[in-house]
Amino acid sequence: MAASEEIRNIARRNFEQAKLRKHADLAASETPTQAKAIEDNYEKALATYLDTLIEGFAEANSNWNQLVADAAKAEEELQRARESAEELPVRLKAMAKLTSSVADLVEAAK
């Protein structure tokens, strides 16, 4: 699969995850800090997705394979956190990690 397509797929899945879980996570949140973190994660996922849509990704960085592996691992961690009904703080960290790993991919491919 072309690098650009791979990045877009991961970014899209990340954004869809953020979108799908946002309202459920907000309903489960108890503190202003938690609600803010959920909104921050969602917005970062949205911005990263926008970035991947707009960028052409002409060249892949030399660390590409490692970065893809990191993003895939972050996706799995998030999935596990969701499936095992982990507490909200754990899910929040997993979501933030996935978004930043996708952002790393986007940055490296520029």
Partner 1 sequence: MTDLLTRSQCGAMSCRPRFRLCAPWVLLLATACAADRQGALELAKAGIGATSAISQEIDVRSDRVSNKIAAQNFNYAYSSMRNCRDGDQWTITIADGPEPACDVLAVATARSNAPVAVKLAELAAIIRLRARAVEKLTAAYRALGSEAEYDAGRELETAIDEATASATQLGTALGIGPVTEVVASSAKFIGGQLAENAHQRRLVRGSARLQAITRHLRLALEQERKRHEQVDSVAGDIEAETRRHLTTAGLLEASPTLREIMEASDFPAPDEGSLIMALEEDPRLRAATQVTAIADGGPNGDPALSAAIDLLAALEVEHEAFQARREVSTAAVSVSIDRLAEIVERASSADPQAAAATWEE
Binding site for partner 1 (CB under 8 A): 15, 19, 26, 29-36, 38-40, 43-44, 46-51, 53-54, 56
d(CA 61, CA 46): 23
Minimum gap (Å) between residue 51 Cβ and partner 1:
7
Between 39 and 86, name the residue whose CB sits nearer to partner 1: 39
Minimum gap (Å) between residue 65 Cβ and partner 1:
27
Between 50 and 72, name the residue whose CB sits nearer to partner 1: 50
Handedness of CA 34, 39, 44, 46 (dihedral sign): positive
Between 44 and 77, name the residue whose CB sits nearer to partner 1: 44
Of 52, 25, 49, the residue nearest 39 (C-alpha): 25
**Helices in the chain by DSSP H: which ranges?**
3-28, 32-54, 64-83, 88-109
